[in-house]
Structure 1
Amino acid sequence: MPAPTLLVLRALALGDLLVAVPALRALRRAHPGHRVLLATAGPLAPLALASGAVDEVLPVTSPADLPTSPSGPPDVAVNLHGAGPQSHRALDATRPSHRIGFRCAGVDGWTGPTYAEASARYPHERALWCALLEHHGIPADPDDLRLPPPGLGAPVIVVHPGAAFGAKRWPAGRFAAVARALERRAPVVLTGTAPERELALEVAAAAGLPAERVLAGRTSLTELCTVVAGAVLVVCGDTGVAHVASAYGTPSVVLFGPVGPGRWGPPPGPHRSLTHAELRRGDRFGEEPDPALTAIGIDEVLAAAALVLDGDGPGAGQRAAAPTGTDART
C-alpha cells in the first residue's frame, strides 16, 4: 500500500523556500511515514530535496497551477504559502483529509490563528510558519535552517548587486566602490540572475574587476550555492542570495530598505543587517530605492564587512529595524 501523502504549498521564490526549511523539517519529523510532496517553483527542487524534508517537488509557479489531484487526495494539506483564501481553495481542491494553515474568513476547515494574529506575535518569516505548526501540535525550531553545502567553491567575496525590485536595489556605483575596496581582502565575484548580468558587468567595470569575475547569468542554482557556501563574505540587498548565505553559515552583510530585518533578516551568527528604519517608505514594489536603503553609506557597509571578516563577534553591533508590516500572500 503506498505511503500517505503530505502536500505542502509554497509556490514562491528562493528566499521564501529557504526561510520555510525549519517548518518543512518539522513536518517531516511529525509525519515520518508520509511522502512529503512540496509544490514550489521547479528550479528550486535541488534545495528543497537537500533540506532532507521533501521527497518530491511538484513544479508550480502559483496556487492556481496546483493540480487538483497531484497523486490522489493527500492525507494532509499544509499551506505555507499565504493567508488564504486563494491558496486555501487551491489546496481544498485536492480533497485532503486534514488541513494545516491559517484561519481565513470565507474558507471553512482551516482552524489555525489568522495570519494577522500570528504575524503580529511572530514577525519574522521563519518564526511565523513554525508558530503555525506549533498551534497544530507540531514542534518546530525556527533556527533549523542550515543546509549541507553542495560543494565548496573558492574563498571569494560575493557581491550581489541585484534585487527583484528597485526599492531593494542599492545604487550600482556604491556596490562598485564596495567591491573595489573589498578586493584587497579577497577576490571579488559578482553574482546575479541572467537579467541582472548587465548590472553586474556595470558594477565590475566601475570596480576595475575583469569581466570573467561576473558570474551573473552563468551559474545554475546549485553552482551559485557552491560559490556562496565557499565564500568568506556575501554583500547583498534583501534578496534570495542573503538567505543562501544564512543556509550555509556564510558571513554576510545584508542591506535592507522597504522591509526591515525584523521580517527577513539573517539568524544569529556571522551576519550583519544594515538599514535606516526611520527613513523607511515601505513600498516593496517601488521602482526607486527606498530611503532606508539609500541612507546606508559605503563606509557603513565596509565597516560592517570588516567586523564580519575579522570575527568581531557574530552579529556584533547589528543595526536592526523594528518589525515591519506583514507581507501576506493569499
Structure 2
Amino acid sequence: MTRPPALLVLRALGIGDLVTSVPALRGLRAAYPRHRLTLAAPAWLAPLVRLVGAVDAHLPVEDLTPKPWVAPPPEVAVNLHGRGPQSHLLLRAAAPGRLLAFACPEAGHGDGPRWEDDEHEVTRWCRLLAWHGVPSDPSDLDLPAPPTLFAGGATVLHVGAKSGLRRWPTDRFATVARRLAADGHRVVVTGGPGEERVASTVAGAAGLPPAAVLAGRTGPAGLAALIAHARLLISGDTGAAHLATAFGTPSVILFGPMSPARWGPPAGRPRHHAIWHGTRSEPGDAPSGDPHPALLRITPGEVLTSAAQVLTADRATSIGTVDARR
C-alpha cells in the first residue's frame, strides 16, 4: 500500500494557540486532501486536537528542541508556531520538500510574508497560508461540543492565568460570583494546574460551597466539555476564553496587557464581550505577581453588565434560530 505524502504542521503551544489555529489547519486539510496531516503539539492537548477534525496524527512536542523525524521527510512543513528562527529550524530538521512560513533572514528563509505584530492571531496564520496559495476561512473557528461528566448550564468563572499580569483580583471575581449566584446562576470556579487555592479563595469569599471549586479536577478535556455546555464563561485572556468562542458559549473576557484586537473574540459575535481599558498591546506572559493596570480598571459592575448583555444576545440568537427552522 502506498504511503500518503506527509504534511507536518508545528503549533507547540497552549489551548488558545491551538484554537486560534483551527481555520488554518482546516485550510491546509482542504488544500492537501491526499496528505497525512501531522500536528506537532504538546501531548496534553490530545483531546482538543481530536476536536479540530483536520488532523490525522498528533506528534507530541513540548518545546522547540530539534528532535529526529522518524518518518520519511514531509512533502510540506508548515510553521504555525512563530516567526522563527527556532521554529523554522525545528521544521528544517525534518528535511521537508517545502516550508510554508514567515520570512526569517536569521533562519535563512526568505520565501514568505513579513511578520506583523499588530495582527489578530487568527488572521495571522490565514494570511500566511494565503501568501503561499492556500485559502482558509478566518471565521471557521467552531468546534463540536464534547460530552461532559459535569452537569450542563453552569456559569463558569475561570480565575487563573499563566501570568499574574492577566489575573483579575480574587476579591473582584468573588463579588461577581456572589452577585450571579444571588441572581440564580449555578456558579463554578475553575483554574489551571496549581490554581486550586486561588479558586477556593474566590469560592469561599463568594459564599459558594466547596463542590463549586473545579480547579484541579477537570484537565484540558474536562475544562473544554464544561465550557462547551456552560451557560456563561467569565475569564481573563486565557485558553478558556478561546474555548468559549469555539463552542459558542456566551463569554465575558477581561483583557490586561494584550489588546483584544490581537487575541480577543472575532468581530461580529455578540455572544462574546471583551473588556479592555489599555492603550497599547504589551507582552502578556512576563513574570509578574501583579495584575496589569488595564486589568485593574475593570470593575465588577462592568463585568456584570456585560454578562447580562451577552446572555440577552444568546437568547435572541437562539430564538432567531428556532424561528428560522419553523
Query: Is this a same-fold pair by TM over 0.5?
Result: yes
Matched, 1:130 2:132: no
1:2 aligns with 2:14: no
Could you tell me how far apart the structure 1 residues matched to 2:95 and 2:8 are? 11
The 3-state SS of whatever aligns with 2:105 is coil
- 2:51 maps to amino acid: A
Name the structure 2 match of 1:32: 33
Change (3 A) 1:47 1:238: same
Aligned to 1:225: 224
Is there any run of 5+ residues in structure 1 with no aligned partner, and where? Answer: 316-330
In structure 2, relative to structure 1, the CA distance for the partners of 1:314 and 1:255 (3 Å cut) is farther
Cα displacement (A) at 1:283:
4.7
Give the TM-score normalised by structure 1.
0.90
On the 8 A contact 1:193/1:217 being kept in 2, the answer is: yes
Partner of 2:322: none
Q: Contact between 2:259 and 2:281, CA under 8 Å: does it hold in 1?
A: no
1:147-181 superposed Cα distances (whole Å, 9 cap, x missing partner): 00112541010001111000000000000000111
* Alignment RMSD (CA, Å): 1.7
Alignment of 1:149-298 (within 5 A): 149-151=145-147, 153-183=151-181, 184-267=183-266, 268-269=268-269, 270-278=271-279, 282-284=282-284, 285=286, 286-298=288-300
**How many residues are paired up?**
309
Please report how far the alpha carbon of residue 192 of structure 1 lies from its aligned counterpart in structure 2 after TM superposition. Answer: 1.2
CA distance in 2 between counterparts of 1:90 and 1:250 reads 36
- Structure 1 residue 220: deviation in Å? 2.5
Q: Which runs of 5+ in 2 are unaligned?
A: 318-326
> Does residue 307 in structure 1 map to residue 309 in structure 2?
yes
Please give the residue correspondences for 1:12-27 in structure 2 after superposition, counting only pairs within 5 Å: 12-27=13-28
1-structure distance, mates of 2:312, 2:282 = 33
Task: Judge conservation of contact 1:36–1:56 (CA < 8 Å) in 2.
Answer: yes
Moved over 3 A (4+): 312-315
Find the aligned partners of 1:59 and 1:45 in 2 and give their Cα distance.
Answer: 9
Helix, strand or coil for the counterpart of 1:115? Answer: coil
- What is the CA–CA distance in structure 2 between the aligned matches of 1:131 and 1:161, rounded to whole Å? 33
Residue identity matched to 2:95: R
- What does the per-residue CA deviation read over 1:174-233, in whole Å, with 9 as the maximum and x for residues that have no partner? 000001111123200011123011100000000000111111000132221111011110
- Relative to 1, partners in 2 of residues 1:314 and 1:39: Cα closer, same or farther, differing over 3 Å? farther
Q: CA offset at residue 309 of structure 1?
A: 1.5
Q: What residue identity is the alignment partner of 2:5?
A: P
Corresponding residue of 2:324: none
Distance 2:70 2:312 in 1: 50
State the percentage of identical aligned residues: 48
Contact 2:228 2:244 in 1 (8 A): yes
How far apart, CA to CA, are the structure 2 residues paired with 1:194 and 1:113?
37
Question: Is this contact kept in 2: 1:42–1:58, CA < 8 A?
Answer: yes
Secondary structure class of the residue paired with 1:195: coil
